[in-house]
Amino acid sequence: MNQVILASHGELALGALDTIRMIVGEVPNVHAVILRRDDTEPITGKVEALIDGFADEDDVFVLTDMLGSSVNNAMVELMARRPRVRVVSGMNMPLVLTLVLGDAKVTPSELRSVIGEARAGIVDCANPDVSQAVTAPAPAAVSGKPSTIELARLDYRLLHGQVVFSWVGKTGVGRIIVVDDAAASDEVKKSALKLAKPSNVRLNVFTVERALSKMDKLNTLGEKVMFVFGNTHELLEFCRSYPLSEVNYGATANKDGAVQFGGKDGSVFLDEAERADTRALLDLGTRIYVQQTPSYKRVDLESV
């Protein structure tokens, strides 16, 4: 397992840890250690206490706030005494998430690649420089064979952290198809979605009608595909013409008259119209489950 320690001055590491939990849920292999202005003990002791509790086979990554900081300098000194510790300065969310969610050992060359991809996530969104992007190889596709729908998800936020980091990593998809009439008709929304997608994953943003018209072609591409729907109405419209065996309810916006589903920590709130759409989907034979990220418990939705 990759054990990831976030180390910073002030509350930065704690804030990053809170953000990680919002995106992927509770994960046992990410930790935060901070150095406050009035601390009388060095940060090194806190980090070493954590490391001593890890399994011998775990790799340890300490991600610090910035190169040259006293925290980073202390961690570099620690690295000299602890051979399995690797220190990376200048933490950001793509870097943290990639290491937290990865299962395999990370070689030095792979770590350099991960750092390069994390740097590519720092973008002037008004003037993105695509020539600087670090692109990992796209997942393999077998042309002429049917594509497989690895995940069909309902999420009013469409393409965002939970989808990009959690579900793409879990499913290994090479293409994401966003089905949302409003987004497909709005060039600004489409541009934002293109910026949010992983560099090695293809993205289409379609209306329901256009998505249905593309299904025959999709089934010759031999790709692993994820569908993301923005609302229950368009999800039901799609399924009436192209049935989906299973749908993940990830998040719907809370609103007056909505009922929460999936437990107290869930992000699915359905009003009467959405509940009616959901009942119609169940009547079509679609299996529906609530699950924000793979680390959350799956809750089957059998009635609303």
pLDDT digits (tens, 9 = 90+) for 143-197: 778 899 999 999 999 988 778 778 988 899 999 999 999 999 999 999 889 888 8
Taking 80 as the threshold, does the pLDDT of residue 132 lie above it?
A: no
pLDDT digits (tens, 9 = 90+) for 7-26: 999 999 999 999 998 888 88
Active-site residue numbers?
A: 9
pLDDT at residue 243 in the model: 97
Q: Which amino acid is at 11?
A: E
Would you state the pLDDT for residue 133?
52
User: In sequence order, what E strands does the chain have?
Assistant: 2-9, 30-35, 59-64, 85-89, 148-155, 175-179, 202-206, 224-229, 246-251, 259-261, 268-270, 287-290, 299-301
Q: What is the pLDDT of residue 136?
A: 54
pLDDT digits over 206-226, tens only?
999 999 999 999 999 999 999
pLDDT digits (tens, 9 = 90+) for 137-158: 566 677 778 899 999 999 999 9
Q: What is the pTM of this model?
A: 0.76
For the stretch 64-103, pLDDT in tens is 999 999 999 999 999 999 999 999 999 999 899 889 888 7
Q: Please determine, for residue 230, whether its predicted confidence score (pLDDT) is greater than 70.
A: yes
Report the alpha-carbon distance of residue 179 to residue 184 in Å, rounded.
Answer: 8
User: What pLDDT was estimated at residue 130?
Assistant: 59
Phi, psi at 255, each rounded to 5°? -160, 170
